[in-house]
Amino acid sequence: MTTPVSLDEAALRAHLDAFYAKVRRDPDLGPVFAAAVEDWPAHMDVLTDFWCTVALRTPRYKGNPLAVHKALPLPPGAFRDLFPLWLGLWRETARERFAPEDAALLIEKAERIAQSLQAGILFDPAALRRA
């Protein structure tokens, strides 16, 4: 068990490193990420920028997470099945590494992001026209 630390960029990067180490070892998530990420150090830099923007409000990330996730060659059902696994590891890692209030902040943000991504990925405009 790691001693909880304050939420800053260094702690956030350490959290992301620990979390994605778990993701990469996970039998369901690991293969998905192995197929999608070619350069892990560069990917971790992007993720750090993203989470610094989300959690610390430092405007460093300029990408489009929905577009990136929609471009992955996965069936839509994969996201529905995999997001709970991803969130479970995120919650576990945040609670291991941060004080309860900081862990709760990161968990809340991750849950909102996951809901938003799922809604965007699973949205079927053709279904609205059929209704």
Q: Which CATH class is domain 9-124?
A: mainly alpha
Residues 52-81 have a mean pLDDT of: 84
Mean pLDDT estimate for the chain: 88
Please tell me the predicted confidence (pLDDT) of residue 17.
98
Contacts 24+ apart (CB under 8 A), 94-98: 94/15, 94/19, 96/1, 96/2, 96/18, 97/2, 97/4, 97/5, 97/11, 97/14, 97/15, 97/18, 98/4, 98/5, 98/7, 98/11, 98/15
Please tell me the predicted confidence (pLDDT) of residue 125.
61
pTM for this prediction: 0.85
Check pLDDT > 60 for residue 3.
no
- Is residue 58 classed as helix, strand or coil in its secondary structure? coil
CA 81 from chain center: how many Å? Answer: 14
Please tell me the predicted confidence (pLDDT) of residue 34.
92
Q: Where are the domains of the chain?
A: 9-124
Q: Quick one: which of 98, 88, 110 has its CA closest to 1? A: 98
Q: Using CA atoms, how far apart are residues 35 and 26, in angstroms rounded to an integer?
A: 14
